[in-house]
C-alpha cells in the first residue's frame, strides 16, 4: 500500500440536502472519504444511509431541485469538482470518473443498440468516428467477457440477460479508461452465481488499469473480499473508516459491530445473529449528536447532545464514537 | 415473418369492428322513421318513381337479405347510388378521399412542428415558469373550438394580412400546400395541445428512468440526452395518444373542410346529412371508419420501428 | 379522500380544504362559479331578451348598452351568450356525467367480479376504442335528424366505455387491499363493499378525466351546432351563434368571435379545475382523451 501518495479522490465535509414536503433532510452530512489510485474503498451501510447519494454527489448527478450540495469539497486529482462549470463537469464524467449502477436491466436505453450506447461517450468526448467507435465497442465487450462481441454489439438490451447487461454497463464505464470508478451496488440485482463473476471482473479491470474504485454495498461480505479500505455509513455520516483488515479485526464503532453481528456467517464474529435494536434513523428528526445513539448499547447521555467528528484512534483508523474503548471492553 | 404475422393478426382483429361499422351504416337507412326514398326525394316524388326506386334499392325485400347484399356489394367496392346526385357513391366519395387525407396529413405534420418544440422545452424546464406557461396555454388552446379558430385565422391572415387564401383546394402539390395552409394550421392548433400534453408527460416519465441517469453519468449534454435518449422513448405514448385521437382529428377535419369550402369528405358529409342523401352517408360512414382503423394499424406498426421489443410481446 | 372530505365537511373544514387547493384549481373554480351563477340568474344578468329582435339596432358593434354588440336581427349578443350558458353547460354536463355514472358502475362491477362479465366488457371496450365515434354520431343524426336528442343517444351509447376502463383498472388494484378484505370478513353485502367502500377510492381517475371530457363535449355540441346538425337557431347556443355570424365576419367581426370566446372561457375554467383536481387527488393528469 503506497500510503504516502496523495489521494486521487478526497471528499471533505460534504453535505447533500434534499427538500421534502415536510422539511429538509441531509442525505450526506459532513462526509469525509479518501481513495488513492489503484485502491478500492468500500462503502457499507443500510439502505437509506446515503451511500448512493454520495456517489451521485461526487459526479454531481444530484437532481436539483429537490437536491442540493450545500457544503464541502470533492477534490479529484487536486481539483474541486464542485467548483467546475457544468461543461467542465460533463468532461470529467465522460473521461475520468465513471459509474456503474445497481440495476443493469434498466441501465441501458431499450431502443438503442448496446454497442452505440457503450461507445457514445467516446464519440462525444474523444470525437471518435463511427467505424472506430464500433471497433472499440467490440474490443470493450471482449474485455468484459462477452462471447462473439462482433455480432452482439448490434443487439438491443432486451436480447441480453441481466449478468451480460451488467458486463455491458461495465464496458460502457471502462470506455476511455477512467481513473476512478464508482460502483453503486453493482451486484445487488444479480443472481448470486453471477455476483462473484462481476466482482472478479471489476477487480481484474482495476488491476489492469490501476484505476481507483469506490464500491458501494450493503453486503459486508462483498466489501471484505474486495476492498482495501472500508467506510461505514449511517444516517448520511461516516461512522468509521479503516483498512479492511483493521476494521474487521477490531471495529471501533458500535454500529459497525452491530452490522457485523446482524449478518450470518461472518468469519471472526459471533455465531449468534444479533439484530440491531430499535428503528432505522428518521432523517427529519435527528438529535444533534450521534445519530446511532438511540440504538446504541454503549451510549452515554452526552452522545446525543453534541456533534461527534471522526477522530483517528489508530494510524489510518477513524471513528465517530465517543466511547470506542467500551467496544473493545465489551468484545474481550 | 414475425412482422407479417403481426400485421395479419391485426387485420383479423379488425374484421368484427368492420362488421359492426357496416351494420351501423346499413341501419342508417333502415331505422329512419318513415320512407327513406320519400325523404330523399322530398316534394318531387310521384307514385311510379317511388315504386321504381323501391325496387332499385331492394326495399321490397326483407332486411336481412338486403343487409347481406349490402355487405357483398360493399366488398366489391359498390356502395350504392346517390339518387340526389345520380352518381355511384364510390365515385362521389372516391374523388374526395385524397383531399381529406391531404388536409389531415398536412394538419398533423404542422401539429408535430408546433407541438414538438413546445413539449421539449416544457419537459426540459419542468416546473419552471416556461413549463407552467406552456401547460396553461395548452388548457386554453384545448378549449378553442376548431370552427372558431378557423374563423379567427381567416380574419387575421386572410383578411387582415392577406397572406393566405381562405378557401378552395388549389392546383398542384404546392397549390394545395398554399391553399390549405390555414385549414392545416387550424387542425394543427386544435391538435397540438393534446400532443404537447402527452409528449411532455411521456418525456417526463422517460427522464425518470435509470438509463437517463446513466446517460448523464457518461457526461452527455442535456440536449443530447433529450434528442438521443428521451425523445425516441417518448414517441410511443405520443403516437398512441395521436391514434386514439384520430376520431377527433377527423371531426376537426370535417369542420375545417366545411369552413374553408374544401371539397373533401367532411364537407360532403355535412351536405349529405342536410339533404338526407342516405347512400352517400352510408358510404362515408364506411370510409371514415376504415380510415380510423387503418390509422390505428399504422400507429401500431410504427411502434415497431421505434422499439424492437414490441415484436416480442 | 379529499372528495369525500368536501362532501361531508363542516364550513370550517371546507375553508381548510380550499386552502389546500392549487392556484389553478382556485381560479378555475371561481371562473366556473361565476359562469354557473350567470347562467342560473340569466334573466337578471342579461340586460335584454335573448330572442328579442330590434330592427332599429342591427349589427351594432360592442358599446356601453350592448357589451358584445348586436347581430343581424338586432338581438343583444351579450344576453344571448349569457342564456347560452343554460344550453352549452347543461347539455355538456349531461353528456359528460350521465355516462360517467353507469360507466364507473359497470367498470367497478366488472373489476370486482372478474370472470365472464369482465371478459365480455373487455371485448366491448376494445371494440369501442377502435370504433370511430364521429361516424356513430353522424349516423344517429342521419336517422333521427339534427338536434340534441341525436347527440344524447350517440354519446350515451359510447362515452361510458372510457369511464368503465378507468374504473375497472382501479378496481383491480383496490380489490386486493386490506380494507376490502376487512369489509368482506365483516359480512357486509357486496353492493355495500363496492359502492360504499371501494367507490370513493376508485373514482379519482374518472373525476379527473371527466373534466377534460366535459371540455370536449362542449366542443362537440357547439361544433355540431355550428354545422347545423346540433341545436338549431334561434336557440342561443354558442356554436350556432358563431355559425350565424359567419356570413358577417368581414364587416361585423364581433358576431362570430365573441360567442366563441364564451366557449374558450368555459372550457378553460373546466381544464383548470381538471388540472387542479389531478394534483389534489394525487393523480397524474390524463393526457389521453
* Grid cell digits, residue A319: 471513528
Of B217, B221, B307, the CB nearest to A110: B307
Query: What per-residue confidence (pLDDT) applies to C8?
Result: 57
The segments of chain A whose pLDDT lies below 50 read: 1-4, 331-332
Looking at residue B218, the DSSP 8-state letter turns out to be T
Beta carbons of B219 and A95 less than 8 Å apart: yes
- How far is Cα A201 from Cα A100, in angstroms, rounded to an integer? 13
Q: What percent of chain C has pLDDT over 90?
A: 56
Average pLDDT for C154-162 = 91
Of B211, B218, B306, the CB nearest to A93: B218
Average pLDDT for B281-304 = 86
Kind and range of the H or E element at C195? none
Of A99, A111, A121, the CB nearest to B307: A111
b/e per residue C158-196 (b: at least 16 CB within 10 A)? bbbbbbbbbbbebbbebbeeeebeebeeeeeeeeebbee
Q: Is there a contact between B167 and B260 (Cβ–Cβ < 8 Å)?
A: yes
Average pLDDT for C114-138 = 79
Question: What φ, ψ does residue A76 adopt, rounded to 5°?
Answer: -120, 115
**What distance in Å separates residue B270's CA from the closest CA in chain C?**
7
In tens, the pLDDT along C64-79 reads 899 999 999 999 999 9
Task: Note the maximum CA span of chain A.
Answer: 67
Beta carbons of A94 and B219 less than 8 Å apart: yes
Query: What per-residue confidence (pLDDT) applies to C225?
Result: 95
pLDDT interval class at C285 (50, 70, 90): very low
Beta carbons of A99 and B209 less than 8 Å apart: no
Beta carbons of B218 and A109 less than 8 Å apart: no
Interface membership of C26 toward B (CB under 8 Å): no
Mean of pLDDT over chain C: 88
DSSP strand pairing (A40-44 vs A212-217): parallel
Q: Is there a contact between B311 and B2 (Cβ–Cβ < 8 Å)?
A: yes
Query: What per-residue confidence (pLDDT) applies to B15?
Result: 86
Query: What per-residue confidence (pLDDT) applies to C1?
Result: 45
pLDDT interval class at B264 (50, 70, 90): very high
Q: What percent of chain B has pLDDT over 90?
A: 41
Query: What per-residue confidence (pLDDT) applies to A330?
Result: 53
Average pLDDT for C168-190 = 85
Interface membership of B5 toward C (CB under 8 Å): no
Tell the CATH superfamily of the C3-288 domain: MetI-like (1.10.3720.10)
Average pLDDT for C191-215 = 89
Q: Is there a contact between A240 and A41 (Cβ–Cβ < 8 Å)?
A: no
Interface membership of B155 toward C (CB under 8 Å): yes
Which chains sit next to A, with 3 or more Cβ pairs under 8 A?
B
Interface contacts (B, C; CB < 8 Å): 163
Beta carbons of A112 and B210 less than 8 Å apart: no
Question: What φ, ψ does residue B260 adopt, rounded to 5°?
Answer: -95, 10
Average pLDDT for B113-118 = 94
pLDDT interval class at C9 (50, 70, 90): low
Residue whose C-alpha is closest to residue B22's, from B75, B82, B59, B99: B75
In tens, the pLDDT along B177-221 reads 889 999 999 999 989 998 999 899 899 989 999 999 999 999 999
**ipTM (interface pTM):** 0.89
Query: What per-residue confidence (pLDDT) applies to B39?
Result: 78
* Grid cell digits, residue C248: 358577417
Indicate left, alpha or beta for A29 from its phi (over 0: left) and psi (-120 to 50: alpha): beta
Cβ-proximal residues to A288 (8 Å cutoff; 6+ apart), any chain: A304, A305, A306, A307
Contact list in A for residue B202 (CB cut-off 8 A) is: none
Average pLDDT for B107-118 = 93
- How far is Cα A103 from Cα A162, in angstroms, rounded to an integer? 8
Cβ atoms within 10 Å, residue C11: 7
Segments making up each domain of chain C, as ranges: 3-288
Place of cell 350592448: C66
* Grid cell digits, residue B30: 333502415
Q: Is there a contact between A31 and A13 (Cβ–Cβ < 8 Å)?
A: yes
3-state secondary structure at position A32: strand
pLDDT interval class at B8 (50, 70, 90): confident
Residue whose C-alpha is closest to residue B198's, from B138, B137, B125: B138
Residue whose C-alpha is closest to residue B82's, from B57, B62, B49: B57
Q: Is there a contact between C107 and C165 (Cβ–Cβ < 8 Å)?
A: yes
Task: Give the rounded distance of the alpha carbon of A217 from its chain centre.
Answer: 7
pLDDT interval class at C289 (50, 70, 90): very low
Size (chain A), residues = 332
Q: What percent of chain C has pLDDT over 70?
A: 93
Query: What per-residue confidence (pLDDT) applies to B187?
Result: 94
Q: Which residues pair with A181 in a beta bridge?
A: A98, A213
- How far is Cα B99 from Cα B257, in angstroms, rounded to an integer? 9
pLDDT interval class at C160 (50, 70, 90): very high
Please compute Rg for chain C using Cα positions.
Answer: 22
- How far is Cα B15 from Cα C226, in angstroms, rounded to an integer? 34
pLDDT higher than threshold 70 for residue B303: yes
Amino acid at each position: 500500500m503506497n500510503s504516502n501518495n496523495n489521494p486521487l479522490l478526497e471528499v471533505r465535509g460534504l453535505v447533500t440536502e434534499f427538500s421534502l414536503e415536510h422539511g429538509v433532510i441531509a442525505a450526506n452530512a459532513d462526509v469525509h472519504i479518501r481513495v488513492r489510485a489503484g485502491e478500492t474503498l468500500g462503502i457499507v451501510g443500510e439502505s437509506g444511509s446515503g451511500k448512493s447519494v454520495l456517489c451521485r454527489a461526487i459526479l454531481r448527478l444530484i437532481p436539483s431541485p429537490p437536491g442540493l450540495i450545500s457544503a464541502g469539497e470533492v477534490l479529484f486529482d487536486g481539483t474541486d469538482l464542485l467548483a467546475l462549470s457544468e461543461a467542465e463537469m460533463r468532461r470529467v464524467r465522460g473521461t475520468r470518473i465513471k459509474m456503474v449502477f445497481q440495476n443493469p436491466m434498466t441501465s441501458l436505453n431499450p431502443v438503442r443498440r448496446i454497442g452505440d450506447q457503450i461507445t457514445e461517450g467516446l464519440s462525444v468526448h474523444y470525437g471518435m468516428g463511427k467505424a472506430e467507435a464500433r471497433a472499440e465497442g467490440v474490443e470493450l465487450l471482449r474485455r468484459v467477457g462477452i462471447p462473439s462481441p462482433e455480432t452482439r454489439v448490434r443487439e438491443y438490451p432486451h436480447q441480453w440477460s441481466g449478468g451480460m447487461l451488467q458486463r455491458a454497463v461495465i464496458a460502457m464505464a471502462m470506455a476511455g479508461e477512467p481513473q476512478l470508478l464508482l460502483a453503486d451496488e453493482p451486484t445487488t440485482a444479480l443472481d448470486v452465481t453471477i455476483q462473484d463473476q462481476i466482482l472478479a471482473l471489476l477487480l481484474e479491470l482495476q488491476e489492469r488499469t490501476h484505476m481507483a474504485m469506490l464500491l458501494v454495498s450493503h453486503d459486508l461480505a462483498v466489501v471484505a473480499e474486495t476492498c482495501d479500505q472500508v467506510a461505514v455509513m449511517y444516517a448520511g455520516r461516516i461512522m468509521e473508516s479503516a483498512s479492511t483488515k483493521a476494521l474487521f479485526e477490531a471495529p471501533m464503532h458500535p454500529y459497525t459491530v452491530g452490522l457485523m453481528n446482524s449478518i450470518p456467517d461472518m468469519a471472526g464474529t459471533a455465531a449468534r445473529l444479533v439484530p440491531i435494536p430499535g428503528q432505522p434513523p428518521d432523517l427529519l428528526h435527528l438529535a444533534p449528536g450521534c445519530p446511532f445513539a438511540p440504538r446504541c448499547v454503549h451510549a452515554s447521555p452526552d452522545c446525543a447532545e453534541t456533534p461527534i467528528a471522526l477522530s483517528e484512534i489508530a494510524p489510518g483508523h477513524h471513528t465517530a464514537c465517543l466511547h470506542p474503548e467500551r467496544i473493545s471492553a465489551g468484545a474481550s | 415473418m414475425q412482422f407479417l404475422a403481426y400485421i395479419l393478426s391485426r387485420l383479423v382483429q379488425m374484421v368484427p369492428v368492420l362488421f359492426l361499422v357496416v351494420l351501423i351504416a346499413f341501419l342508417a337507412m333502415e331505422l329512419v322513421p318513415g320512407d327513406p326514398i320519400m325523404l330523399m326525394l322530398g316534394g318531387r316524388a310521384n307514385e311510379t318513381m317511388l315504386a321504381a326506386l323501391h325496387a332499385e334499392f331492394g326495399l321490397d325485400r326483407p332486411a336481412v337479405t338486403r343487409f347481406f347484399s349490402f355487405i357483398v356489394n360493399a366488398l366489391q367496392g359498390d356502395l350504392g347510388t346517390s339518387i340526389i346526385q345520380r352518381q355511384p357513391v364510390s365515385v362521389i366519395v372516391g374523388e374526395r378521399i385524397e383531399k381529406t387525407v391531404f388536409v389531415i396529413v398536412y394538419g398533423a405534420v404542422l401539429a408535430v412542428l408546433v407541438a414538438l418544440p413546445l413539449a421539449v422545452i416544457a419537459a426540459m424546464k419542468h416546473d419552471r415558469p416556461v413549463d407552467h406557461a406552456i401547460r396553461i396555454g395548452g388548457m386554453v388552446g384545448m378549449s378553442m373550438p376548431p370552427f372558431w379558430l378557423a374563423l379567427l385565422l381567416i380574419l387575421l391572415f386572410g383578411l387582415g394580412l392577406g397572406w393566405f387564401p381562405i378557401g378552395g383546394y388549389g392546383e398542384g402539390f404546392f397549390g394545395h400546400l398554399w391553399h390549405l395552409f390555414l385549414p392545416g394550421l387550424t387542425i394543427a392548433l386544435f391538435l397540438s395541445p393534446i400532443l404537447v400534453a402527452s409528449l411532455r408527460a411521456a418525456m417526463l416519465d422517460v427522464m425518470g428512468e435509470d438509463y437517463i441517469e446513466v446517460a448523464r453519468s457518461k457526461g452527455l449534454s442535456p440536449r443530447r440526452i433529450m434528442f438521443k435518449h428521451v425523445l425516441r422513448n417518448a414517441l410511443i405514448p405520443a403516437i398512441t395518444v395521436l391514434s386514439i385521437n384520430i376520431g377527433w382529428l377527423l371531426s376537426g377535419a370535417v369542420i375545417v373542410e366545411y369552413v374553408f369550402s374544401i371539397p373533401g369528405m367532411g364537407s360532403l358529409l355535412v351536405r349529405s346529412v342536410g339533404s338526407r342523401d342516405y347512400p352517400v352517408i352510408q358510404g362515408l360512414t364506411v370510409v371514415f371508419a376504415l380510415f380510423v382503423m387503418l390509422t390505428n394499424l399504422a400507429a401500431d406498426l410504427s411502434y415497431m420501428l421505434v422499439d424492437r421489443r414490441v415484436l416480442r410481446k | 379522500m379529499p372528495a369525500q372530505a368536501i362532501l361531508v365537511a363542516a364550513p370550517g373544514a371546507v375553508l381548510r380544504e380550499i386552502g389546500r387547493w392549487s392556484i389553478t384549481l382556485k381560479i378555475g373554480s371561481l371562473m366556473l362559479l361565476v359562469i354557473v351563477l350567470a347562467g342560473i340568474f340569466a334573466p337578471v344578468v342579461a340586460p335584454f331578451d335573448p330572442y328579442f329582435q330590434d330592427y332599429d339596432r342591427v349589427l351594432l358593434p360592442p358599446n356601453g348598452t350592448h357589451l358584445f354588440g348586436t347581430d343581424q336581427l338586432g338581438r343583444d349578443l351579450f344576453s344571448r351568450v349569457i342564456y347560452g350558458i343554460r344550453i352549452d353547460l347543461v347539455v355538456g354536463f349531461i353528456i359528460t356525467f350521465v355516462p360517467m355514472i353507469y360507466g364507473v358502475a359497470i367498470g367497478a362491477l366488472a373489476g370486482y367480479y372478474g370472470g365472464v362479465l369482465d371478459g365480455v366488457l373487455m371485448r366491448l371496450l376494445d371494440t369501442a376504442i377502435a370504433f370511430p365515434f364521429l361516424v356513430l354520431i353522424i349516423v344517429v343524426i342521419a336517422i333521427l335528424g339534427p338536434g340534441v336528442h341525436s347527440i344524447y343517444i350517440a354519446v350515451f351509447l359510447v362515452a361510458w366505455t372510457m369511464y368503465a376502463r378507468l374504473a375497472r383498472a382501479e378496481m383491480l388494484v383496490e380489490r386486493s387491499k386490506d380494507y376490502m378484505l376487512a369489509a368482506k370478513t365483516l359480512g357486509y353485502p357486496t353492493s355495500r363493499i363496492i359502492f360504499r367502500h371501494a367507490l370513493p377510492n376508485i373514482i379519482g381517475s374518472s373525476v379527473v378525466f371527466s373534466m377534460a371530457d366535459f371540455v370536449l363535449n362542449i366542443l362537440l355540441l357547439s361544433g355540431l351546432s355550428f354545422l347545423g346538425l346540433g341545436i338549431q337557431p334561434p336557440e342561443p347556443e354558442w356554436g350556432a351563434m358563431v355559425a350565424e355570424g359567419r356570413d358577417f365576419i368581414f364587416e361585423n367581426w364581433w358576431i362570430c368571435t365573441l360567442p366563441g370566446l364564451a366557449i374558450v372561457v368555459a372550457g378553460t375554467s373546466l381544464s383548470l379545475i381538471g388540472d387542479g383536481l389531478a394534483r389534489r387527488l394525487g393523480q397524474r393528469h390524463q393526457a389521453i382523451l
